[in-house]
């Protein structure tokens, strides 16, 4: 039982990371209909920026907003400069550009900061609290940050005119233009927001793992899994999906280990976690293609 | 003697919209072959013609939604080549073909999106009240997802969205399309009120010529991308020869 609770808590902590990255993926998908394969590497790059500011003696909680702003600018820049000329290009060209961005950020990070792994201190106080035998302060902090980000984005999209304009531009670009909305800038804004959310994800992941250019590679896959399970069109769904994937991968590995101990028969274990995540994705997409919480568009026919 | 530019033009009031030699292209295909017309401040003008005559393309050209050549002046200022959102902000409310509903947004959000560019909160609220006075059904459906509205309600919503821009000129693309005659009558009655009460000039594209000629004061007839006939709506309506040869009724 003790172990089970520990596994669930660890799953929630991992899930928080997946959820943050999934949130960034959803952000771009909702505003541009694209899946940004470079999202993970962009987050990794932002994490390096945070690390750099920490090296220069800045407090983490000052460095993070600064890096979020920088990442926002980089995101907007990528959309305006690189993707703008591709607006009417076929999807495959866009995908190739995303792969290109992925390798560029990977190489840039390696080039600037070298490939040696770096330890990043946790921004959360290392104190013990009730239940700290199950979950560490950094893990708990990540979960809190994820939930705060979700509510901040929810409030932005639901309660502000700019958020409404972004939703309108994503949903019906032609009509949005006829409402006087500059759709091009809304797309760039979506990229900027995604990059800023990714910056939070990267900066939260770095203390939990070690900072190095490959840091986000597998996390991106889990982020995809979370976004697809929750529904790629729904920010709340993406966060829920991230947590679900995080907990399920741990639980299934835990049950697999228990099964092996009881019967000697090996079905799944820690080595198959990624496989489990992908099986979850395929199952959800087969049974409910819009994801667990995704929008099914209502249309009168 | 004063030499204000308006007087220099011959003392006539400046038309709200002047279109001269308008050509429009979809890729390699030319859809308009030099359309010219003008629209007086405060009136309702209709563009008539068969399918494919270029009515919708003309409206889309006015809003910079297709590749165009020629001149378009709004209040004397050239607007051809400007971005759609810029033209809209100059006071052109386009009620598009197919109604352009934001289906996943609520009715309230649909209306607020249209007022996005306006800073005058008080006037926006006043316009919202006006919209609900014209179309009470929208107030009853205010929190409903707009995609679940009936066709007539979505048409009302489309007109209301254009109205929320506080436009000088409203472009209406077949507002009667696919609707029951009673609903069409109601919508056209409200359009008349919007024209006289809110002082919004209108350019109406319709396939239903009889309906459009009842509402409009001026009419232009398009055929394969050219203006082939124009005049007072009443004259065209009463000229059987024109009706039979161009309008098919």
The CA distances from residue A147 to A16, A60, A168, A196, A229, in Å, are: 8, 19, 25, 15, 18
Measured between CB atoms, which of A168, A171, A178 is closest to B88? A178
Q: Is residue B196 part of a domain?
A: yes
Q: What is the pLDDT of residue A291?
A: 82
Average pLDDT over residues A185-202: 94
A277-285: long-range pairs with CB below 8 Å, 24+? A277/A221, A277/A222, A277/A225, A277/A245, A277/A248, A277/A249, A278/A221, A278/A225, A280/A225, A280/A229, A280/A244, A280/A245, A280/A248, A280/A249, A281/A224, A281/A225, A281/A228, A281/A229, A284/A228, A284/A229, A285/A228
Structure tokens at A107: 């190489």
* Residue B212, domain extent: 13-247
Number of Cα atoms under 13 Å in the Cβ half of residue A64: 15
Please check whether residue B6 lies inside any domain of the structure: no
Q: Do B116 and A174 touch (CB under 8 A)?
A: no
Residue of A178, A234, A290 to mutate, interface with B, max B Cβ within 10 Å: A178
Question: What is the interface size between A and B, counted as CB pairs within 8 Å?
Answer: 86
- Residue B182, in any domain of the structure: yes
Which of A95-109, A111-125, A128-142, B204-218 shows the lowest per-residue confidence on average (mean pLDDT)? A128-142
- Per CB-CB distance under 8 Å, the chain A contacts of B67 are none
pLDDT at B4 over 60: no
The string over B9-42, giving b where at least 16 C-beta atoms fall within 10 Å of a residue's C-beta and e elsewhere, is: eeeeeebbbbbeebbbeeeeebbbeebebbbbee
Nearest to B111 by CA among A184, A187, A164, A190: A164
User: Is the Cβ–Cβ distance between B246 and B55 less than 8 Å?
Assistant: no
From A168's Cα to the closest Cα of chain B, the distance in A is 7
Q: Best interface-test mutation with B: which of A175, A184, A189 has the largest number of B CBs within 10 A?
A: A175
Q: What residues of A are in contact with residue B109 (Cβ under 8 Å)?
A: 164, 167-168
Evaluate whether residue B224 is within a structural domain: yes
Q: For position B6, what pLDDT does the model report?
A: 46
For chain B, the average pLDDT equals 91
Flag the least confident range among B8-12, B43-47, B93-97, B232-236.
B8-12
CA of B53 vs chain A CAs: smallest distance (Å): 22
Q: Which of A90-104, A137-151, A270-284, B170-184 has the lowest mean pLDDT?
A: A270-284
Contacts of B111 in chain A (CB under 8 A): none
Instruction: Say if residue A46's pLDDT is above 90.
Output: yes
A300 or B198: which carries more pLDDT confidence? B198
Does the beta-carbon distance from B85 to A298 stay under 8 Å? no
User: Is B1 part of a structural domain of the chain?
Assistant: no
Mean pLDDT rounded to a whole number for chain A: 90
pTM of the predicted protein model: 0.85
For residue A135, the model assigns a pLDDT of 85
- Distance from A233 to chain B by nearest Cα, in Å? 12
Helix (H) or strand (E) holding B95, with range, is strand B92-95
Q: Tell whether the model's pLDDT for residue B8 goes beyond 60.
A: no
Q: How far apart (Å, rounded) are the C-alpha atoms in residues A86 and A90? A: 8
Query: Are A101 and A34 contacting, i.e. CB atoms less than 8 angstroms apart?
Result: no
For B31-83, the pLDDT digits (tens) are 999 999 999 999 999 999 888 899 999 999 999 999 999 999 999 999 999 99
Nearest CB partner across the interface for B85, out of A164, A181, A297: A181
Does a structural domain hold residue B80? yes
Check A300 against B112: CB less than 8 A apart: no
Query: Quick one: tokens of B30?
Result: 């030319």
The pLDDT of residue B3 is 44
CA–centroid distance for B47 within its chain = 10
Rounded mean pLDDT, A75-96: 91
Query: Which residue in A has a C-alpha nearest to residue B119's C-alpha?
Result: A161
Residue B5 has pLDDT above 50, yes or no: no
Q: Are A216 and A44 in contact (CB under 8 A)?
A: yes
- The arithmetic mean of pLDDT across residues A42-46, rounded, is 96
Number of domains chain B contains? 1
Q: How far does B134 lie from chain A, in Å, by closest CA?
A: 20
**How many C-beta neighbours within 10 Å does residue B214 have?**
14
> Residues A198-254: pLDDT tens digits?
999 999 999 988 899 999 988 898 998 999 988 888 888 999 999 999 999 889 888
DSSP B12: P
B82: CATH: 3.40.50.300
Q: Do the strands B169-173 and B92-95 form a parallel or antiparallel pair, or are they unpaired?
A: parallel
Cβ separation B165–A172 shorter than 8 A: no
Nearest C-alpha of chain B: how many angstroms from A43? 30
Q: Is the CB of A179 less than 8 angstroms away from the CB of B88?
A: yes
Q: Which two tokens stand for residue A190?
A: 């979506």
User: Is the pLDDT score of A181 beyond 90?
Assistant: yes
What is the torsion angle, in degrees rounded to the nearest 10, for the CA atoms of residue A91, residue A93, residue A97 and residue A98?
30
Query: Does the distance separating the beta carbons of B117 and A164 come in below 8 Å?
Result: no
Amino acid B233: pLDDT: 93
pLDDT of residue A78: 96
Q: Which of A206, A194, A239 is nearest to A52 (CA)?
A: A206
Choose, out of A31, A180, A295, A299, the residue to mutate when testing the contact with B (most B CBs < 10 Å).
Answer: A180
**Higher per-residue confidence, B203 vs A209:** B203
Nearest to B102 among A172, A183, A300 (CB): A172
Range of weakest confidence among A44-53, B17-26, B47-56: B47-56
Q: Kindly state the average pLDDT of the residues A8-24.
A: 92
Residue among A165, A295, A297 minimizing CB distance to B113: A165
Residue A133 has pLDDT above 90, yes or no: no
B96 burial type by CB count under 10 A (0-12 exposed, 13-18 middle, 19+ buried):
buried
Nearest CA in chain A to B163: A179
Q: How far is A59 from chain B (nearest CA, A)?
A: 38
> Which residue is closest to B113 within chain A, CA to CA?
A165
Which residue from B minimizes the CA distance to A295?
Answer: B104
Find the mean pLDDT for residues B175-193: 95
Residue B176, Ramachandran bin (φ over 0: left; ψ between -120 and 50: alpha; else beta): alpha
pLDDT digits (tens, 9 = 90+) for B86-132: 999 999 999 999 999 999 999 999 999 999 999 999 999 999 999 99
Q: Spell out the residues 6+ positions from residue B39 whose beta carbon is closer than 8 angstroms to its own.
A: B15, B16, B17, B18, B45, B169, B201, B203, B218
- Model confidence at A298, in pLDDT bands (50, 70, 90)? low
Backbone angles phi, psi at B69, to 5 degrees: -130, 160
Asked if the structure places residue B4 within a domain, the reply is no
Q: Is residue B7 part of a domain?
A: no
Residue A297 confidence (pLDDT) above 70: no
Question: Scanning every residue of chain B, which has its alpha carbon at the shortest distance from the alpha carbon of A300?
Answer: B148
Tokens at residue A22, please? 């999934």
ipTM of the predicted structure?
A: 0.90
Contact assignment for A171 to B117 by CB distance below 8 Å: no
The answer to whether residues A13 and A134 touch, using CB atoms and an 8 Å cutoff, is no
Give dist(CA B41, CA B75) in Å, integer.
9
Q: Which of B89, B101, B104 sits opposite A180 (nearest CB)?
A: B89
Test A178 with B100 for CB contact under 8 angstroms.
yes
**In this structure, what DSSP letter does residue A189 have?**
H
Of B116, B147, B150, the CB nearest to A165: B116
């Amino acid at each position: 039982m003790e172990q089970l609770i520990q596994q669930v808590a660890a799953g929630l902590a991992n899930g928080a990371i997946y959820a943050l990255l999934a949130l960034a993926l959803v952000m771009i998908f909702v505003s541009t209909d694209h899946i940004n394969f470079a999202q993970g590497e962009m987050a990794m790059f932002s994490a390096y920026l945070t690390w750099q500011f920490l090296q220069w003696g800045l407090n983490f909680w000052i460095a993070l907003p600064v890096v979020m702003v920088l990442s926002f600018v980089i995101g907007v820049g990528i959309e305006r400069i690189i993707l703008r000329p591709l607006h009417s290009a076929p999807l495959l060209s866009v995908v190739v550009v995303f792969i290109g961005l992925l390798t560029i950020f990977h190489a840039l990070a390696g080039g600037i900061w070298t490939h040696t792994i770096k330890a990043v201190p946790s921004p959360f106080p290392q104190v013990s609290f009730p239940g700290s035998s199950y979950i560490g302060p950094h893990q708990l902090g990540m979960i809190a940050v994820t939930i705060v980000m979700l509510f901040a984005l929810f409030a932005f999209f639901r309660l502000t005119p700019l958020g409404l304009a972004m939703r309108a531009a994503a949903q019906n670009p032609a009509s949005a233009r006829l409402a006087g909305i500059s759709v091009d800038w809304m797309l760039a804004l979506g990229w900027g927001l995604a990059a800023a959310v990714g910056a939070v994800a990267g900066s939260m992941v770095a203390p939990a793992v070690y900072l190095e250019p490959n840091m986000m590679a597998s996390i991106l896959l889990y982020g995809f899994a979370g976004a697809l399970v929750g529904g790629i069109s729904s920010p709340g769904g993406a966060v829920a999906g991230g947590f679900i994937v995080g907990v399920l991968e741990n639980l299934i590995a835990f049950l697999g280990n228990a099964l092996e101990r009881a019967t000697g028969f090996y079905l799944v274990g820690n080595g198959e976690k990624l496989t489990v995540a992908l099986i979850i994705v395929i199952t959800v997409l087969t049974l409910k293609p819009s994801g667990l919480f995704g929008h099914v568009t209502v249309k009168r026919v | 003697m004063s030499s204000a530019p308006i007087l220099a033009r011959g003392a006539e009031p400046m038309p709200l919209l002047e279109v001269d030699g308008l050509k429009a292209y979809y890729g390699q295909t030319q859809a308009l072959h030099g359309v010219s017309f003008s629209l007086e401040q405060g009136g309702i003008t209709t563009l008539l013609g068969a399918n494919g005559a270029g009515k919708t393309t003309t409206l889309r050209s006015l809003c910079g939604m297709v590749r165009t050549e020629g001149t378009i002046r709004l209040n004397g200022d050239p607007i051809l080549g400007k971005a759609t959102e810029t033209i809209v902000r100059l006071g052109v409310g386009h009620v598009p073909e197919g109604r352009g509903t934001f289906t996943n947004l609520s009715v309230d959000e649909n209306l607020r999106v249209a007022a996005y560019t306006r800073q005058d909160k008080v006037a926006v609220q006043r316009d919202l009240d006006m919209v609900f006075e014209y179309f009470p059904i929208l107030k009853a459906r205010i929190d409903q997802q707009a995609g679940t509205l009936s066709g007539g309600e979505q048409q009302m919503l489309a007109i209301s969205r254009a109205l929320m821009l506080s436009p000088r000129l409203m472009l209406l693309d077949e507002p009667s399309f696919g609707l029951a005659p009673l609903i069409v009558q109601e919508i056209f009655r409200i359009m008349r009120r919007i024209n006289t009460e809110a002082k919004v000039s209108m350019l109406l594209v319709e396939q239903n010529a009889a309906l459009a000629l009842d509402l409009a004061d001026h009419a232009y007839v398009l055929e394969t991308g050219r203006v082939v006939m124009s005049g007072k709506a009443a004259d065209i309506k009463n000229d059987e020869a024109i009706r039979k040869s161009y309008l098919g009724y």
